[in-house]
């Protein structure tokens, strides 16, 4: 029988992998949509290949902090840990999209400020 620390570690890894994967997929798709709307890059094939290589890196970059957060907070309160991990996943996805997707230095007349027209105004993009 496993002790409580071992079960919490497995649960933290599961939460990190699941929520990190979701945040990675959402970020990758949103970055692709921003690049397509603002005509960023050489062509769609080059952008798709870049995003294909970037997706696993985004997954690891989000899964590790999520697993650590869940593992630390779950020792006290599991529901609070899940809510905190979900909030962190949303924040990570927003950060990755605004950091990698909205390129401030890219000259583009299609999107003013490199923010696509479909981007909600109440969500900051830079």
DSSP letters spanning 31-47:
HHHHHHHTT-SS-HHHH
CA angle, residues 60, 87, 34, in degrees to nearest 5: 65
At 7 the pLDDT is 53
pLDDT of residue 1: 42
Q: Max Cα separation, the chain?
A: 62
Question: What pLDDT sits at residue 55?
Answer: 93
Residues of the chain with pLDDT under 70: 1-8, 107-108, 126
């Amino acid at each position: 029988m496993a002790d409580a620390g071992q079960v919490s570690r497995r649960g933290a890894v599961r939460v990190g992998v699941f929520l990190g994967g979701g945040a990675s997929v959402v970020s990758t798709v949103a970055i692709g949509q921003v690049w397509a709307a603002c005509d960023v890059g050489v062509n769609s094939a080059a952008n798709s290949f870049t995003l294909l290589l970037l997706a696993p890196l985004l997954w690891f970059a989000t899964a590790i902090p999520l697993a650590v957060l869940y593992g630390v907070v779950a020792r006290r309160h599991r529901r609070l840990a899940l809510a905190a991990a979900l909030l962190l996943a949303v924040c990570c996805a927003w950060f990755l999209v605004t950091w990698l997707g909205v390129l401030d230095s890219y000259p583009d007349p299609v999107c003013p400020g490199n923010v696509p027209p479909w981007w909600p105004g109440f969500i900051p993009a830079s």
